[in-house]
Amino acid sequence: MVPVYFYVPNLIGYVRLGLLLDVWRKLSLAHSYDYRDNTNSKDWIVQVDSKKIYEAVTIYIVFSLLDILDGISARKFKQSSKFGGFLDVMVDNFGRSCIWSFAAPNWGWIVISCEWLVLCATQSWNTTEWKTTLAEMHDSPWWVNEIMRDNFKSPLGVLVAIGLFGTPVWVLLQNTKTKWLPEVTDVYGIDIDMEKVEYLIGGILVAGRILALCVESHVLKLHFSGLARMHTN
């Protein structure tokens, strides 16, 4: 009998944590601060190393893709567990929290807090398959069921997944003014405005993240309603 700590999906989770430490290190090194003092102003100047940003984002993409492998291995080896479910979501949250903290230092904490609140709520449901549980709840509207169907494998579910993982990266690249699309102005004779393409991709990602926020709000509503009912019965 293999101890739960050594289940294949959990081993992948440990690898993802190691990758995340490297992402944090590279993002920390990518930002340097210089204090400018002259007759006109006194302020801190933030300098960004685009190469380090690229490296961090590349590792984060690998980190995110391993989340898919994590789920596949859990099903293939029949190694689903409450420990593994918690580890998986915890690692996901750590990853997004890391990116959000650098992408939006002034307001990213709001997104981070919401995600951790949802983790606290779902872990109290006493099930390893909280996504399925949420989809099967009669109190859940159709769009929540559609997003959660087959573990985010529906079109809306895919949109939410890429929004969750992709939006903080897009905000990071935009706020650090890091160019991430090739400088292309013409494709097969068609004029391309890459700045508009960047915002189009960003719009899709943000739409997915807003949908995720709606699901998070629904989860918290169910959780707090359940807590309230405990004191009224």
Helix-then-strand count for the chain, H and E: 8, 4
Give the H or E element holding residue 190.
Answer: strand 190-191
Mean pLDDT of 23-36: 83
pLDDT score of 170 more than 60: yes
% of the chain exceeding 90 in pLDDT: 58
Read off the pLDDT band of 59 (50, 70, 90). very high
CA-based radius of gyration for the chain: 20
pLDDT band at residue 192 under the 50/70/90 scheme: confident
Of 151-155, 170-174, 176-180, least confident by mean pLDDT is: 176-180
Query: Contact 10/84 with Cβ under 8 angstroms?
Result: yes
pLDDT at 181 exceeding the cut of 60:
yes
pLDDT score recorded for residue 45: 59
pLDDT of residue 84 exceeding 60, the answer is yes
In single-letter form, the type of residue at position 131 comes to K
Average pLDDT over residues 164-168: 97
pTM confidence score: 0.87
Distance CA 112, CA 76 (A): 31
Tens digit of each residue's pLDDT (9 = 90 or more) over 31-58: 876 655 555 555 555 688 899 999 999 9
Q: Residue 101 pLDDT > 70, yes or no? A: yes
The residue to which tokens 């872990």 are assigned? 123
CA 30/CA 53 separation, integer angstroms: 6
pLDDT band at 77 (very low <50, low <70, confident <90, very high): very high
The reported pLDDT for the residue numbered 158 is: 95
pLDDT at 64 over 90: yes
pLDDT band at 231 (very low <50, low <70, confident <90, very high): confident
Q: How far apart, in whole angstroms, are the C-alpha atoms of residue 45 and residue 31?
A: 10
Best CA proximity match to 71, nearest among 163, 136, 161: 161
Q: What angle do CA 191, 200, 109 make, to 5 degrees?
A: 145
